[in-house]
Amino acid sequence: MTIDIAFIVTAFFEILTALPLTLTITVVPLIFGLGIGVVTALIRLYKVRVVHQLAEFYVSFLRGTPIVLHVLIIYFAMPKLIDSLSAYFGWSFKSASIPILLFVLTAYSLTAVAYMSEIIRSGILSVPAGQIEAAYAVGMSTPQAVWRIVLPQAFGAILPNLCNLFIGFLHTSTFAFTVSQMELLGKANVVASVNLKFLEAFIAAALIYWGMTIIAERITAFLEKRVTAYSRGGMA
Amino acid sequence: MGKAFDLSLLGTFLPELLAYLPITLLILAASLFFGLLLGLLLAIPRLYNIPVLTQLVVVYVSFIRGTPVLIQLFLVYYGLPAVLGLVHLDLSRADPLLFVIVTYSLSSAAFLSETIRGAVNSVDLGQTEAAYAVGMTARQAFGRIVLPQALMVAVPNFANKVIGFLKDTSLAFTIGVMDMMGRGQTLISATAHALEVYISLAVIYYLVVIVLERLFAASERKLQQHERKWASA
All structural domains of chain A with their residue ranges = 19-181
B204 inside domain: yes
Cβ-based burial of B128 (10 A; exposed 0-12, middle 13-18, buried ≥19): middle
Whether residue B232 lies inside any domain: the answer is no
- C-alpha to C-alpha distance for A18 and A182, rounded to whole angstroms: 7
> Is B14 domain-assigned?
yes
Q: Distance between CA B59 and CA B38 in Å, rounded? A: 15
What is the rounded average pLDDT of the residues A186-191?
A: 91
Task: Tell if the CB–CB gap between B78 and A80 is shorter than 8 Å.
Answer: no
Find the distance separating the first CA and the last CA of chain B, reported in whole Å.
63
Do the Cβ atoms of A106 and A26 come closer than 8 Å? no
Q: Tell me the backbone φ, ψ of residue B127, rounded to 5 degrees.
A: -65, -45
Nearest-angstrom CA–CA distance, A91 and A175: 32
Amino acid A234: pLDDT: 52
Domain containing residue B192: 7-226
Percentage of chain A lying above the pLDDT 70 cut: 97
Interface test with B, best of A26, A56, A72 (most B CBs within 10 A): A72
- With contacts defined as CB-CB under 8 Å, which chain A residues touch B163? 64
Tell which phi-psi region holds residue B88, choosing left (phi > 0), alpha (psi between -120 and 50) or beta. left
CATH 3.40.50.880 fits A19-181, yes or no: no
Please say whether the dihedral angle defined by the alpha carbons of residues B208, B211, B215 and B221, taken in this order, is positive or negative. positive
The rounded distance, in Å, linking the Cα atoms of A3 and A200 is 7
Residue B231 counted as domain residue: no
What CATH code is carried by the domain that includes residue B21? 1.10.3720.10
Task: Answer yes or no: are the C-beta atoms of A30 and A116 closer than 8 Å.
Answer: yes
Indicate whether B1 belongs to any domain: no
Residue A136 C-alpha, separation from nearest chain B C-alpha, in angstroms: 30
Give the pLDDT band (50/70/90) at residue A20. Answer: very high
Is B183 a member of any domain? yes
pLDDT recorded at residue A195: 87
**Greater model confidence, B208 or A196:** B208
Q: What ipTM is given for this predicted complex?
A: 0.85
Interface test with A, best of B104, B198, B212 (most A CBs within 10 A): B198
Give the residue numbers in B contacting A (CB under 8 Å), as ranges: 1-2, 5, 62-63, 65-72, 74-75, 78-79, 82-83, 85-86, 163, 167-168, 170-171, 174, 181, 194-195, 198-199, 201-202, 205-206, 209-210
Given a cut of 60, is residue A226 above it in pLDDT? yes
> pLDDT band for position B231 (50/70/90)?
very low
Q: Counting one residue from A and one from B, how many pairs have CB atoms under 8 Å apart? A: 103
Tens digits of per-residue pLDDT, A50-91?
899 999 999 999 999 999 999 999 999 988 888 888 888 887
Could you tell me the pLDDT band of residue B233, with boundaries at 50, 70 and 90?
Answer: very low
Number of domain units in chain B: 1
pLDDT, tens digit (0-9, with 9 covering 90-100), for A107-166? 999 999 999 999 998 888 888 889 989 999 999 998 888 888 888 888 888 888 999 999
Q: Region A199-212: what's the mean pLDDT?
A: 94
